[in-house]
Structure 1
Amino acid sequence: MQTKTNTAANHAPLAQNGTMFTILIAVSMVHLLNDTIQAVVPAIFPIVKDSLSLTYTQLGLIAFALNLTASILQPAIGMYSDKKPQPYLLPLGVVATLLGVLGLALATGFWSMLGSVVLVGIGSSVFHPETAKVAYLAAGARRGLAQGIFQVGGNAGQALAPIMTALIFVPLGQAGILWFTILAAIAIAIQMYTARWYSGRLRSGTVKKRSSQAAGVPVAGRRKIAAAISILVLLLTSKMAYLAGMTSFYSFYIIDRFQLSVQEAQWCVFAFLAAGATGTFFGGPLADMWGRRNVIWFSIIGALPFAFLLPYMNFTTSVVFCVIIGFTIMSSGSVNIVYAQELLPGNIGTVSGLFFGLAFGAGGLGAAALGALADTTSIAYVIKLCAFLPLIGLLTIFLPSDRKLRQWAEEAEQNQIAR
């Protein structure tokens, strides 16, 4: 029998709308710290390319190693956590990240850099699926808003990468990475708090084992769900490949084209990423009001014309276009995951791990492929090629409407009751 001595975190009452904002802000803060540390990798590319004598191909492979690690591990961890939730994996994952940060600061060549980013990737693999599950649990009825709050932390962390290059890595060099051990320590402390709250929910029975809802879905319905998931995967893949091109190589393009310094180029990339973080935050609540698929459509149609024109604009217009593209294309960042979670409501950890893993994998493959292409052609060619990637988003036309999603959920529930 539970006593009143249990921690407040374990038994904190839900808000009237069922949304636990304290927990959502906590996981968003850790997402910010985690992705800020992860963003160190592409942020130091302009520095270590010369200091460690790396090629564009090697830079792409370093980004690929980081993303591949997360891509492979996250779905597996998500599936495991659906069957057996592990709250205290949350702080342990950040410990791996901390070790990776130390390795990055002390790396002396390509292989030591590669090993360090694998550790950072392991930390992210543990963090994303289980913490996304916490965000889903704390969401109540406002899932779009909750996922937006959770993901805006990550996008904000990624947006800090160019600022870190301009203000930290240019003056301090690779050794400046040591400062990020402080961020890792803060993240560990917050994750301990989150893990206690999550553990309390497990003990109180709020978190249920993997649902058997899929068993109530007719075979034809399962095929439609599988098709919708496949389309979401393609949308995410194209988006992350585009983002990989922009975050890893766009600074090199504008340095060469407009004769900018590294610091000046990084401010342009920051504008792109900061706008993306803003779009992620607003996309969630907009999807709650206007529908998931409508916001996904907006993210594609709104970004396409500006993505096509970006390589041909002058510097000032390029900055404006980067802001527009970043906001629109990332406005569906949280919506894609909420959409997939509602397609497979009993498999939140699996879905979160799959989609976050795919995001990392697509980004890593994109960075590796685009880096190799840049070595054989030119940076300008790569940036112009990236403009075509968002076209894959037109597959949104085949996604079921929000009303159809609700209809499928009701049919599945009725079929379960009938059985």
Structure 2
Amino acid sequence: MASLVPFFVAERAYSYAAVSGIVLAASLLSSVAQPVFGVLTDRFAMPWLLPVSTLLGGVGIALSGVSDSYAVTLAVVAVSGIGVAAYHPESARVARLVGRGSHKAMGWFSLGGNLGFAVAPVMVAVVVATGGLRLTPLLVLPAVVGAATCLLVLRALERRQAGGAGATVVTGKDDKASFVRLSLAVVCRSVVFIGLSTFVSLYTAERMNGSTAAGTAALCVLYLGGAVGSVLGGALADRWDRVTVSRWSYLITAGSVAGLVFVPGPALFLFVMLTSAGLYVPFSLQVTLGQDYLPSRVGTASGITLGLTVSIGGLVSPLIGAVADRTSLQTALAPLVLMPLLSWLLFRALPEPGVPPSVAAPPKGDNPDATISPAQPGLR
């Protein structure tokens, strides 16, 4: 959705607040629906949600440019948000089962999504810059391919389970207090990422003499940095524990966000990359941490860490847009520097699951989880 924001501003003369409302529409229903889908996937095997939700998300985006009506645009974007909400809990569950709870597996899972985000600005620019927003229906094609790929993967997993190669799941005692603190840290992260996803292309174009190409490039860099960070997070967590890696990542990210907002010139692109990588180093680690804090409700944990807390960032976007309309984008983005610092503070109070707070992280290769039990049938 963020890739279309500059085109809504250019073609429909939407204000910063108006485009923030579109991001909000995608986030609002998604933020409410994801925990619901998480609870459902904890109770029932629902692998069919993966292709259906992929297609639904793509259809919403494809229809966003068809009507000049702002209300219709909000409605179809909200439909896309529901597709995203339905996808995340079940996909995170499947990734966890296939990877046997490995944070590396979740990192590779996140990498796929980030590569898609990185390609999106280029794809949107090619399609929409050529024929305007009326060509957005073409954007459904990647969703069709993605849905078909989901079906192929699910069939392969079913054959694997039928052959006796079932995945494992981790069980243990729920740590609700730590999960709440983790969720608050993810909320702070999402405020930064959604805020930058919405406005970094406009901010870059503003600082680069109105260059739309520079804005598109900045958005690509933001998502490519995420792809790097997702894989890097898993590698670093092999050397240190997930909580330590996430904590230091947020502290470094606070400095890179400050550079993005305040340092002039082409150095902006470097700080966009550093900010993105810093925000995504903890991303997959947070998902597995949430699942380990709530091992009896993996779907719910995934729905909250991947969905509710991330989507809440979209609720702040209209506020950023309103401040930008009254002052400037730089002034509106400046408070984002504080968000990674809050995440850092929250992570200081978090234990590594299975390890007492006063005990060092386990050596590389050790499994801190308490017990392992066989997976349930049906991609459970």
What is the TM-score when the length of structure 2 is the normalising length?
A: 0.87
Aligned to 2:350: 399
- Counterparts of 1:249-268 in structure 2, within 5 Å, are 249-268=199-218
Query: Which has more radius of gyration?
Result: 1
Whether the aligned pair in 1 keeps the contact of 2:291 and 2:297 (CA below 8 Å) is yes
- Counterparts of 1:58-73 in structure 2, within 5 Å, are 58-73=18-33
* Residues 359/164 of structure 1: CA separation in 2 closer, same or farther (3 Å cut): farther
Whether the aligned pair in 2 keeps the contact of 1:250 and 1:383 (CA below 8 Å) is no
Aligned to 1:30: none
- Counterparts of 1:272-351 in structure 2, within 5 Å, are 272-351=222-301
Q: Distance in 1 between matches of 2:223 and 2:342?
A: 21
Amino acid at match of 2:195: G
Q: Distance in 2 between matches of 1:83 and 1:234?
A: 26
* Residues 205/347 of structure 1: CA separation in 2 closer, same or farther (3 Å cut): farther
Larger deviation, residues 108-117 vs 44-53: 44-53
Larger deviation, residues 179-188 vs 155-164: 155-164
Whether the aligned pair in 1 keeps the contact of 2:64 and 2:76 (CA below 8 Å) is yes
1:183 aligns with 2:142: yes
Amino acid at match of 1:69: L
**1:274-303 Cα distance to aligned partner (Å, 9 max, x none):** 112111122123213321112102211221
Q: Distance in 2 between matches of 1:266 and 1:228?
A: 38
Whether the aligned pair in 2 keeps the contact of 1:70 and 1:357 (CA below 8 Å) is yes
Q: Shift of the alpha carbon at 1:137?
A: 0.8
Larger deviation, residues 79-88 vs 358-367: 358-367
Moved over 3 A (4+): 164-168, 197-211, 405-413
Aligned to 1:172: 131
Whether the aligned pair in 2 keeps the contact of 1:144 and 1:285 (CA below 8 Å) is no
Aligned to 2:69: 109
Q: Shift of the alpha carbon at 1:253?
A: 2.1
1:134 aligns with 2:134: no
* Residues 366/178 of structure 1: CA separation in 2 closer, same or farther (3 Å cut): same
Aligned to 2:377: none
Larger deviation, residues 48-57 vs 59-68: 48-57
Q: Shift of the alpha carbon at 1:208?
A: 8.6
* Residues 408/152 of structure 1: CA separation in 2 closer, same or farther (3 Å cut): closer
SS at match of 1:175: helix
Q: Shift of the alpha carbon at 1:174?
A: 1.1
What is the TM-score when the length of structure 1 is the normalising length?
A: 0.79
Amino acid at match of 1:76: V
Aligned to 2:378: none
Amino acid at match of 2:305: F
Q: Shift of the alpha carbon at 1:198?
A: 4.8
Could you say what the CA RMSD is over the residues aligned between the two structures, in angstroms?
A: 2.7
* Residues 322/127 of structure 1: CA separation in 2 closer, same or farther (3 Å cut): same
* Residues 165/185 of structure 1: CA separation in 2 closer, same or farther (3 Å cut): closer
**Structure 1 unaligned blocks of 5 or more:** 1-40, 215-221, 414-419
Q: Distance in 2 between matches of 1:207 and 1:286?
A: 25
Whether the aligned pair in 1 keeps the contact of 2:187 and 2:310 (CA below 8 Å) is no
Q: Shift of the alpha carbon at 1:240?
A: 0.9
Larger deviation, residues 192-201 vs 361-370: 192-201
SS at match of 2:356: helix
SS at match of 1:398: coil
Q: Distance in 2 between matches of 1:254 and 1:89?
A: 37
Q: Shift of the alpha carbon at 1:365?
A: 0.8
Q: Shift of the alpha carbon at 1:128?
A: 0.9
Aligned to 1:100: 60
- Counterparts of 1:11-22 in structure 2, within 5 Å, are none
Amino acid at match of 1:172: G
Q: Distance in 1 between matches of 2:55 and 2:126?
A: 26
Query: Which of the residues 2, 14, 17 maps onto 1:57?
Result: 17
Aligned residues: 362
* Residues 362/128 of structure 1: CA separation in 2 closer, same or farther (3 Å cut): same
Larger deviation, residues 239-248 vs 165-174: 165-174
Whether the aligned pair in 1 keeps the contact of 2:64 and 2:136 (CA below 8 Å) is yes
SS at match of 2:194: helix
Whether the aligned pair in 2 keeps the contact of 1:97 and 1:124 (CA below 8 Å) is yes
* Residues 382/199 of structure 1: CA separation in 2 closer, same or farther (3 Å cut): same
Whether the aligned pair in 2 keeps the contact of 1:300 and 1:390 (CA below 8 Å) is yes
Q: Shift of the alpha carbon at 1:404?
A: 2.5
Whether the aligned pair in 1 keeps the contact of 2:88 and 2:306 (CA below 8 Å) is yes
Q: Distance in 1 between matches of 2:258 and 2:170?
A: 43
Whether the aligned pair in 2 keeps the contact of 1:244 and 1:364 (CA below 8 Å) is yes
Q: Shift of the alpha carbon at 1:206?
A: 4.1
**1:138-170 Cα distance to aligned partner (Å, 9 max, x none):** 0036x1111001111112222234323543322
**1:189-239 Cα distance to aligned partner (Å, 9 max, x none):** 11212333455577769479996x44xxxxxxx6xx222112211111111
**Structure 2 unaligned blocks of 5 or more:** 374-380
* Residues 71/296 of structure 1: CA separation in 2 closer, same or farther (3 Å cut): same
Amino acid at match of 2:131: L
